[in-house]
Amino acid sequence: MIELMKQLCALPGPSGCEDAVREFVLEKVKPFADEMKTDAIGNIMVFRKGKKALERPVVLCAHMDEVGVIIKKITDDGMLKFGFVGGVDPRVVIGRPVRFGDVQGVIGIKAVHLTTAAERRTMPKTKDLYIDIGAASKAAAEDKVSLGDYGVFDSAVVEFGDGLIKAKAIDDRVGCAALLKLIEDEPPIDTWFCFTVQEEVGLRGAASMAYALDPGFAMVLEGTTAADLAEVEGGKAVCRVRGGVVLPFMDGATIYDAELFELLRNACDKRGIRCQTKTRVAGGTDAGRIHKSRAGVRVCAAAAPVRYIHSPSSVAAVADCEAVLSAARAFLEELGGDDE
């Protein structure tokens, strides 16, 4: 699974421009699909027949998109003014490389030596940043890029330290990798494996996917915010890298089904899958749209804890990522009545 995750994290796929990830996923799922759909917004929905069927479909879901940048203006001197696609803290991108296809650039800001004392006390704003692609003029820049072009962080995937992995887009290529591994085996129950788009800009792909399939149960596989940093104590850490898969009971968009939460937690406990929950209610997942679809959907989630999420250098533990896969497999086994 980790090798799959590395390949997925290296691909560009900002919200609304998930093409490279979609092509990769489609190629991987073809040998295992009993039915496959790609809808108008770009979601991939793959059906794999299982040993049993439930009255309403079961969906496992992960989003293909990542945060990124989009060009809004090209200045007379060839610099790019941009906006963020999804939620990005401007502090984490200064000096970081980005890429628009084959065009490389660096996110810049006025040097600290030239700032006032007041400027140094305030958080930089996106309007103060620019992307330098090395163009000598506006015309030279326009030969390379255009307004509306999407860019992503240009960040290598690296395993380091005691079982950690660093990459862009761990949110949510970890979920995509888990789905790609799960679909290789016959599931205990008929299952739709869904790879959604535009989660980072409002859970948009999940809404159309859930309306189309009208599932009875759904599980979202995700990356989630970990703040287990130096000198952060207790609940302020939210969840911890190397602490196991995160099973949330609530976030900013969803109150997860209480029975499914307990089912999943018990399933992990009896299989020896290390798990934890979050100590702060924040953020949101595709479940925020899925659970409201049509007749209502019972939802749960499993996530890898990720430090520095939505940055060029997100960090997760390999063991936690693999635990997401194990938790999803346990969920399907429990719904199918197979506790082995």
Whether residue 222 is annotated as binding a ligand: the answer is: yes
The set of long-range contacts for 92-97, using a CB threshold of 8 Å and a minimum separation of 24, is 92/308, 92/310, 92/311, 92/312, 93/129, 93/153, 93/311, 93/312, 94/124, 94/129, 96/153, 96/154, 96/155, 96/312, 97/153, 97/154, 97/155, 97/312
Instruction: Please report, as a single letter, which amino acid is at residue 183.
Output: I
DSSP structure class, residue 128 = G
Axis crossing angle, helix 2-10 with helix 19-29, rounded to the nearest 10: 150
Whether residue 186 is annotated as binding a ligand: the answer is: no
- Residue reference for tokens 């309306």: 211
Whether residue 171 is annotated as binding a ligand: the answer is: yes
186 annotated active-site: no
Q: Which of 3, 27, 142, 199 is catalytic?
A: 199
Terminal alpha carbon distance of the chain: 21
Whether residue 334 is annotated as binding a ligand: the answer is: no
Q: Which pair of tokens denotes residue 98?
A: 């980005």
The beta-strand segments (E) located in the chain are: 35-38, 44-48, 58-63, 68-74, 80-85, 97-100, 103-108, 130-132, 150-153, 158-160, 164-167, 191-196, 217-225, 245-246, 275-276, 298-306, 314-317
Burial state string for 214-247 with b = 16 or more CB within 10 A and e = fewer than 16: ebbbbbbbbbbbbbbeeeeeeeebbbbbbbbbbb
CA atoms of 82 and 132, how far apart (whole Å): 11
CA atoms of 340 and 338, how far apart (whole Å): 6
- Active site residue ranges: 199
Binding residues for Zn(2+): 63, 171, 200, 222, 310
